[in-house]
Amino acid sequence: MKIDKSTIKKIAHLARLEFDEDGVEKMSKDMSQILDWVEQLNEINTDSIEPLTTMSSEVNVMREDVQGEHLAHEAGLKNAPKRDEDYFRVPKVLE
């Protein structure tokens, strides 16, 4: 499939890209090759093939959630470099 310069320029505008004339020619050639490859993939019969959900055959091993001992509020704030009653004090990040 051949992609013309006007299509490349429109795609570049939508993607907020800038190309000079040499870049437009190269991008047109590259995108045409990509679309030709996709057309080749469409010719393959995939009726009997299950869709992939992941490329890995690994299976997640899950563990049971167990409620443990929680850190007391005062103990959590004990080593805070700066605190304001019940909260940590941190430097302002946004102005």
Task: Report the predicted TM-score, pTM, of the whole model to 2 decimal places.
Answer: 0.47
The verdict on residue 26 lying in a domain is yes
Q: In this structure, is residue 68 part of a structural domain?
A: no
Helices (H) and strands (E) in the chain, counts: 3, 2
CATH of the domain at 31: 1.10.20
Structural domain contains residue 66: no
Per-residue model confidence (pLDDT) at position 73: 85
Is 21 within the bounds of a domain?
yes
Residue pLDDT, tens place only, 48-92: 888 887 778 788 889 999 999 998 888 888 888 888 888 888 888
Query: Into how many domains does the chain fold?
Result: 1
For residue 14, the model assigns a pLDDT of 94
Whether 10 maps to a domain, the answer reads yes
User: How do residues 2-49 score in pLDDT, each as one tens digit?
Assistant: 888 889 889 999 999 998 888 899 999 999 999 999 999 888 898 888
DSSP output for 11-36: HHHHTT----HHHHHHHHHHHHHHHH
79 falls within a domain: no
What is the extent of the structural domain holding 18?
Answer: 5-42
